[in-house]
């Protein structure tokens, strides 16, 4: 019989971070993962010897003394991961329709301000006001600063619309666009996304920005080592189809093949709505179920992973965000006729250093309804299925449109393509197990800021939730969520102290 202290369903960043924290605290942990590869969005794949990330292209906060650095130190992986600091003066480059300038974000606030002033010399007050505001908001979030506490209602930062705030500090339209220009990092919506989301994300990248050399899956690999070296287990190819409640608590997780995994505590790293679907219990009130079901998800994505011809396309230690309009929020409101309205281009950071890139990933938003026709198909490496010729044609057409858009800013790009693969919202759905292939989980709204905050505790006392739908997405957001989840078992003060002392 499989008997553990804690069974965790899903081996995404959240599941693995919880597993590591609890294994370090002496719990006998078992993580169950449906896929062939662990890590959820940390997964990588290789084409023509080029390593592509699926869901981690860069992270912030990894310089000594910063939040993710300290969290990774505590998790035992900081000295093992192979990371590369991005260009100090050019982490993100923003390109807007018909404007020849690439607006660059620098690392470090002084540097960020210095570079912004070179484009907007008359806007010093607005730029400094923006930076002060971002830092002031970030200070309010205890765990972001590794202090005990949780995400609570911090008033203004929650209840301010990002775009409205930017409009309040400057009349300079271009500066406004530039300051909002990385909103693809959270699938931002004007008149919706609260300022705290923009602040927490932009701040950690301004503090420091890093790429994982040869893929972000190394995070997962090292976390698994931390877990297994303490007697824990991470089991692949286990699709959990039932969490069985008996007598007011979950007694076991049951896999598709009927195998049962017993434990005292269960943590679900899968989508909360899916968690409810597989939980056999009357303890969840229908109001809770409908609230979760009614939450809007962030949009999904189409991406092309391109292997480049040798020595053909210059490598930048940077990212590019490009918009078809002057408006940085335009990418969401595409139509079939004008797609893509915006894209992000991420260079593959390889250990084989060269002035030329081996590969790039190009991402643009895509709604699930575009692939509605093929919704009844399922395709992953463990369950290979051909979605058909029409689907392949659809993907090829979209890739071509994306490449045409890139070619406009980077003449010669199309000529440098050696081969490519694509992924659609269905890919994200099938690999991660969400209904809608959402990029970053639930969308946040400044009008109802607390609605999309899901508590890690549930009505069933020994069932906890973790992952990007709880609190915040991203490697940092999800790691903090794992701390919130584990603090339910360990105590917040105790756990935060351990992290600070690591």
Our finding on whether 10 is near ligand FAD (CB under 6 A) is: yes
Nearer to ligand FAD, 42 or 320 (CB): 42
Sign of CA dihedral 369, 372, 374, 375: positive
Chain positions 49 to 88 lying near ligand FAD, rule: CB under 6 A, are: 55-59
- Which pairing describes strands 342-347 and 359-366: parallel, antiparallel, or unpaired? antiparallel
Count other C-beta atoms under 10 Å from residue 280's C-beta.
12
291's CB contacts (< 8 A; 6+ apart) are: 451
Q: Provide the mask over 348-377, with x wherever binding to ligand FAD is found by CB under 6 A and - wherever it is not.
A: ---------------x--------------
Our finding on whether 217 is near ligand FAD (CB under 6 A) is: no
Nearer to ligand FAD, 56 or 94 (CB): 56
Min dist CB 122 to ligand FAD, Å, is 33
d(Cα 464, Cα 275) in Å, to the nearest integer? 10
Min dist CB 124 to ligand FAD, Å, is 30
Nearer to ligand FAD, 327 or 430 (CB): 430
Nearest to 465 by CA among 274, 288, 271, 267: 267
Can you give the three-state secondary structure of 418-457, one letter per residue? EEEEEECHHHHHHHHCCCCCCCCCECCCCCCCCCCCCCCE
Q: Which of 179, 342, 473, 483 binds ligand FAD (CB under 6 A)?
A: 473
Nearer to ligand FAD, 53 or 327 (CB): 53
Q: Which of 156, 239, 312, 455 binds ligand FAD (CB under 6 A)?
A: 239
Our finding on whether 429 is near ligand FAD (CB under 6 A) is: no
Chain positions 240 to 269 lying near ligand FAD, rule: CB under 6 A, are: 240, 269
Nearest to 27 by CA among 4, 50, 9: 4
Chain positions 278 to 307 lying near ligand FAD, rule: CB under 6 A, are: 301
Q: Which of 40, 61, 328, 359 binds ligand FAD (CB under 6 A)?
A: 40
Our finding on whether 467 is near ligand FAD (CB under 6 A) is: yes
Nearest to 304 by CA among 361, 348, 358, 359: 361
d(Cα 365, Cα 416) in Å, to the nearest integer? 24
Nearest to 434 by CA among 252, 318, 200, 269: 269
Min dist CB 199 to ligand FAD, Å, is 16
Can you give the three-state secondary structure of 262-280, one letter per residue? EEEEEEECCCHHHHHHHEE
Nearer to ligand FAD, 342 or 467 (CB): 467
Q: Which of 175, 474, 483, 490 binds ligand FAD (CB under 6 A)?
A: 474
Nearer to ligand FAD, 9 or 307 (CB): 9
Min dist CB 416 to ligand FAD, Å, is 23
Q: Which of 7, 21, 32, 371 binds ligand FAD (CB under 6 A)?
A: 32
Residue 208 in tokens = 């420091």
- Choose the stretch contacting ligand FAD; rule: CB under 6 A; options: 34-42, 136-144, 156-164, 446-454: 34-42
User: Which residue's CB atom is positioned nearest to ligand FAD?
Assistant: 12
Min dist CB 475 to ligand FAD, Å, is 4
How many residues touch ligand FAD under the rule CB under 6 A: the total is: 35
Q: Which of 263, 478, 486, 489 binds ligand FAD (CB under 6 A)?
A: 478
Nearer to ligand FAD, 59 or 320 (CB): 59
At which residue do the structure tokens 């408006």 appear? 327
Chain positions 136 to 175 lying near ligand FAD, rule: CB under 6 A, are: none
Residue 172 in tokens = 């300079």
Nearer to ligand FAD, 182 or 341 (CB): 182
Nearer to ligand FAD, 33 or 358 (CB): 33
d(Cα 453, Cα 455) in Å, to the nearest integer? 6
Q: Which of 7, 94, 213, 270 binds ligand FAD (CB under 6 A)?
A: 270
Min dist CB 160 to ligand FAD, Å, is 23
299's CB contacts (< 8 A; 6+ apart) are: 187, 332, 365, 366, 367, 438, 439
> 293-302 b/e with 16+ CB inside 10 Å = b?
eebebbbbbb
Residue 98 in tokens = 């018909």
Peptide bond between residue 484 and the one before it cis (omega within 30 degrees of 0): no
Decide: 299 and 38 in contact? Cβ < 8 Å.
no
Chain positions 409 to 428 lying near ligand FAD, rule: CB under 6 A, are: none
Our finding on whether 34 is near ligand FAD (CB under 6 A) is: yes
Count of residues making up the chain: 502
- Residue 366 pairs in a beta bridge with 300
Nearer to ligand FAD, 126 or 134 (CB): 134
Q: Which of 4, 22, 33, 348 binds ligand FAD (CB under 6 A)?
A: 33
- Residue 240 pairs in a beta bridge with 255
Name the phi and psi angles at 46, rounded to 5: -120, 130
Residues of this chain that bind ligand FAD (CB under 6 A):
9-15, 32-35, 40-42, 55-59, 239-240, 269-270, 301, 363, 432-433, 439-440, 467-468, 473-475, 478
């Amino acid at each position: 019989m499989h008997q553990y202290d804690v069974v965790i369903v899903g081996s995404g960043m959240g599941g693995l971070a919880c597993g590591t924290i609890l294994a370090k605290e002496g719990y006998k942990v078992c993580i169950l993962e449906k896929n062939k590869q662990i890590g959820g969005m940390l997964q990588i794949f290789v084409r023509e010897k080029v390593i592509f990330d699926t869901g981690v292209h860069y992270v912030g906060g990894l310089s000594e003394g910063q939040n993710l650095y300290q969290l990774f130190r505590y998790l035992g992986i900081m000295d093992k991961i192979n990371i590369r600091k991005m260009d100090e003066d050019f982490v993100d480059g923003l390109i807007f329709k018909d404007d020849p300038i690439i607006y660059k974000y620098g690392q470090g606030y002084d540097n960020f301000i210095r570079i912004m002033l070179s484009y907007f010399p008359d806007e010093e007050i607005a730029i400094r006001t923006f930076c002060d505001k971002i830092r002031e908001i970030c200070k309010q979030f205890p765990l972001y600063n590794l202090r005990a506490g949780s995400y609570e209602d911090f008033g203004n930062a929650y209840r301010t619309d990002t775009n409205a705030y930017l409009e309040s500090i400057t009349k300079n339209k271009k500066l406004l666009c530039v300051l909002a220009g990385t909103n693809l990092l959270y699938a931002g919506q004007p008149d919706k996304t609260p300022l705290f989301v923009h602040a927490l994300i932009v701040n950690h990248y301004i503090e420091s920005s890093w790429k994982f050399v040869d893929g972000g899956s190394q995070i997962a690999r090292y976390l698994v080592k931390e877990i297994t070296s303490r007697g824990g287990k991470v089991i692949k190819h286990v699709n959990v189809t039932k969490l069985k409640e008996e007598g007011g608590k979950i007694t076991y997780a049951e896999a598709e093949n009927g195998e049962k995994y017993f434990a005292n505590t269960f943590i679900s790293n899968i989508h909360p709505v899916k968690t409810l679907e597989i939980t056999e219990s009357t303890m969840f009130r229908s109001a809770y179920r409908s609230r979760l079901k009614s939450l809007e998800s962030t949009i999904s994505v189409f991406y092309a992973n391109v292997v480049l011809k040798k020595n053909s396309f210059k490598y930048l230690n940077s990212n590019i965000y490009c918009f078809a309009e002057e408006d940085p929020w335009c990418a969401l409101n595409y139509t079939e006729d004008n797609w893509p309205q915006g894209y992000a281009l991420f260079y593959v950071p390889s250990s084989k250093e060269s002035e030329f890139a081996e590969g790039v990933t190009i991402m643009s938003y895509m709604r699930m309804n575009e692939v509605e026709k093929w919704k009844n198909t399922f395709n992953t490496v463990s369950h290979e299925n051909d979605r058909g010729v029409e689907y392949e044609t659809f993907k090829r057409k979209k890739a071509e449109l994306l490449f045409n858009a890139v070619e406009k800013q980077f003449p010669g790009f199309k000529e440098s393509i050696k081969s490519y693969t694509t992924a659609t919202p269905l890919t994200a759905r099938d690999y991660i197990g969400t209904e809608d292939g959402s990029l970053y989980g639930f969308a946040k709204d400044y009008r109802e800021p607390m609605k999309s905050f899901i508590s890690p505790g549930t009505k069933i006392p020994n069932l906890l939730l973790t992952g990007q739908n709880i609190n915040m997405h991203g490697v940092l957001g999800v790691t903090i969520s794992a701390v919130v989840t584990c603090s339910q078992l360990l105590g917040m003060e105790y756990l935060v102290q351990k992290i600070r002392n690591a």
